[in-house]
Amino acid sequence: MHFRIRHRTRYEYGRPVFLEPHRLRLVPRGDACQRLLSFAAAIEPTPAGQTLVTDALGNTLLSFWFVELTDHFEVTTEALVETLRANPFDYLVESARAVLPIPLDRIEAAAAPFCLARPEGAVQRVLALAETLRRVSGAPQDFALALVDWMQINLRTVVRHEPGILDPDAVLAAGEASCRDLAVFYITACRHVGIPARFASGYHEGDPDSTERDLHAWAELLLPGGGWRGFDPSLGLAVADRHVVVAAAPHPDDASPVSGSFRGDGVTARLTHHIRLKESPA
C-alpha cells in the first residue's frame, strides 16, 4: 500500500525565545516492512542549518538549529511511504528458540538489553497477568497474540491529552488508557517473560472515510525467525501494512516526535498539530 502523509507541528511562545538545537523523529523508517519514497520538511523560522542523521537505535532524525529569537516554531513534513508486509506472520519460526524466555543469539544479546529492562512504575499486577498468560501460552508468538487479545477484550482505548505515560498497574485499575499507555503495558508484560520489546511511534490508516489523524503508538517484539514485528494492543492486532512507523526505542521518550528546548524565563508555550494521511495510488 502507498500512504501520503502531511504532518504539521506548531509551537507558539508568549514572547520571543531562543531555540536550542531540535531533533525531529517524523521521518518514516525504511526497512523490511516499508519503503520511504519521498520526504520533505518545511521549517519556520528558517534554521541556520539542518541535517539528517541516523541515531544509535537506527532511527532517522532531522536535526536543525537556529541563531535568532522567534515567537513561534513550525515544522511541516510530507512523506510518501510504501508499506510492504501484508502478512505479519510471513516468517519461519525458529522452533528451537520458540520458548520463554527467548534464547538470544550473540547479536540479539548485544542489541537487546535495554529492550528487556523493566519499565519504572507500578507493574506488579501486570507481571502477575504475564505469568498467568505464560502458563497457557509458552511460545513467544503465542504469548504475544494471547496478550494482545486479552488487552483488546479487557482494556478500552481512549484519547488522553495529559503528558507522560500511565503506570501499567494504573491502566489495569482504570480499565482504559491511551495507545501509548497500552503500548508500555504490553512491553512490560513481554519483557517480563523474556521477549525483547520496544516502543514504536508512527501512523495508522484509521478510518478511511476521514483524513484527520493523530500520532499512534504500538510495540515491536524481537521474535525468533521474524526479527522485529509489530503488535498493536489498542487495535488488538499484529501490525501489517496499515501502519507506518517513524521511530522505535526501548523507552518512549526516545521515540518522541520532537525533542529540544528553548531559552526564555517565564514564557508560555502552546502546541498544536495537524495530520493528514490518505492512501495514494502506486
Percentage above 90 pLDDT, the chain: 89
When pLDDT is cut at 50, 70 and 90, the band that residue 112 belongs to is confident
Cβ–Cβ < 8 Å for 220, 248: yes
Q: In a 10 Å sphere around its CB, with 0-12 CB exposed, 13-18 middle and 19+ buried, how is residue 88 labelled?
A: middle
Question: Cα dist. 87→23, 71, 90, 115, 144 in Å?
Answer: 33, 47, 6, 24, 16
Cβ–Cβ < 8 Å for 180, 252: yes
d(CA 54, CA 234): 29
30 pLDDT exceeds 90?
yes
When pLDDT is cut at 50, 70 and 90, the band that residue 80 belongs to is very high
Task: Return the SS3 of 30.
Answer: coil
Q: Where are the beta strands (DSSP E) in 20-101?
A: 22-24, 34-44, 49-54, 60-65, 69-83
Give the list of residues 6+ apart from residue 90 with CB closer than 8 angstroms, or none.
Answer: none
The tens digit of pLDDT for each residue in 147-174 reads: 999 999 999 999 998 889 999 999 999 9
Say what the pTM is: 0.95
Mean pLDDT of the chain: 94
Q: Where are the beta strands (DSSP E) in 188-268?
A: 197-204, 212-213, 216-223, 227-232, 237-238, 243-249, 258-259, 262-263
Dihedral sign, Cα of residue 53, residue 82, residue 152, residue 145: negative
Say which residue, 118 or 153, is predicted with more confidence. 153
Cβ–Cβ < 8 Å for 49, 66: no
The tens digit of pLDDT for each residue in 176-220 reads: 999 999 999 999 999 999 999 999 999 999 866 565 678 999 999
How far does Cα 214 stand from its chain's mean position? 12
Report the b/e string of 240-274 with b at 16+ CB within 10 A.
Answer: bbbbbbbbbbbbbebbbbbebebebeeeeeeeeee
Domains of the chain, CATH where assigned: 2-83+257-279 (2.60.40.2250), 95-240 (3.10.620.30)
